[in-house]
Amino acid sequence: MRYEATHVTRYRYEEPVAQSLSQAHLMPRAFPGQRVIESKIDIQPEPAVFERRKDYFGNDVTTFAVFRSHDRMAVTCNSIVEIEPLPFLEASISWEEARVRLAAHADEASLEAYEFVFDSPYAGSSVELAKYAHEVFAPGRPLLEAAMQLSARINADFLYRPKSTSIDMPLAEVFANRRGVCQDFAHVMIGALRSLSLAARYVSGYLRSNANYQGAGASHAWVAVFIPGSGWLNLDPTNNVIPSDGHVTLAWGRDYGDVTPVKGITLGGGVQTVEVEVRVEACKLP
């Protein structure tokens, strides 16, 4: 499938902003199964500084600065990507064996994935999350099978409710309240997997517009769990699906903080309002 993805973030400030410095993870990531045909970012007012680079995780990052007075700003990213359905992973390794191979750095891929075993600011391990995970991860159970059931259980146990949480809400509170948005579902699942010393990373992206998915029309998030000897298994607990050609990947990292779509600081401005609009529509092949 080929998609045109448009992400618009509009800021309006109560008072003029003298200067602003921002960072964006808005350009889709290229990898086997996803080809980026084109991607461009437009900022209004025009920035004095505009730079692109790769971050630690290999994601495309754009940094820009506006040094003149402004009371509003718009950041628009237009991308065309081509996505192929990925083959389903076939793996019978147990979750305990996976944990041992990760800790032993059994191969290069396991060594690279090992850093995603550890806590991060928004997705840490806990006794409560370990107990929750153990109810699914029975002794000797294949990691792939258990991870899929954990995703299904989070989907069943948690209520999708926009504006019921904030990104600064502690994960323990999100877990106790059993409600939130896709970022919360992903953080809960990552925290549960890390509580078992398994490697899990946060994936940011989009869903196809007009799809029968929760979270379409906004930035989305899901989880990838590492299975030694097979690779990364993507799971979307918000919708209880395995991401395929209806999911567009932007970036991945330890949690939301590593791949925030747009963040920054301003000098002045007072109270600000933010509007975000995301459209992902199929487009014709040439």
In a shared domain, residues 180 and 237: yes
3-state helix, strand, coil in the chain (%, to 5): 25, 40, 35
Longest dimension (CA), the chain: 61
In a shared domain, residues 110 and 14: no
Cite the DSSP H helix spans in 24-179: 95-103, 108-113, 127-134, 143-157, 171-177
In a shared domain, residues 78 and 99: no
In a shared domain, residues 71 and 140: no
pLDDT tens figures, 89-128: 888 899 999 999 999 999 999 999 999 999 999 999 999 9
CATH of the domain at 211: 3.10.620.30
Q: Total structural domains in the chain?
A: 2
CATH of the domain at 27: 2.60.40.2250
pTM: 0.96
pLDDT tens figures, 215-252: 888 899 999 999 999 999 999 999 999 998 999 999 99
In a shared domain, residues 64 and 148: no
In a shared domain, residues 73 and 197: no
In a shared domain, residues 181 and 145: yes
What number of CA atoms fall less than 13 Å from residue 106's CA on the CB side? 12
pLDDT tens figures, 21-75: 999 999 999 999 999 999 999 999 999 999 999 999 999 999 999 999 999 999 9
User: Which residue type, as a one-letter code, is found at position 270?
Assistant: G
pLDDT of residue 225: 98
In a shared domain, residues 199 and 157: yes
The answer as to whether 227 is a domain residue is: yes
The answer as to whether 248 is a domain residue is: no
| Nearest C-alpha neighbor of 250 from the set 206, 217, 213, 207 | 206
The answer as to whether 89 is a domain residue is: no
Its domain, for residue 57, covers 2-84+260-282
| SS3 label, residue 114 | helix
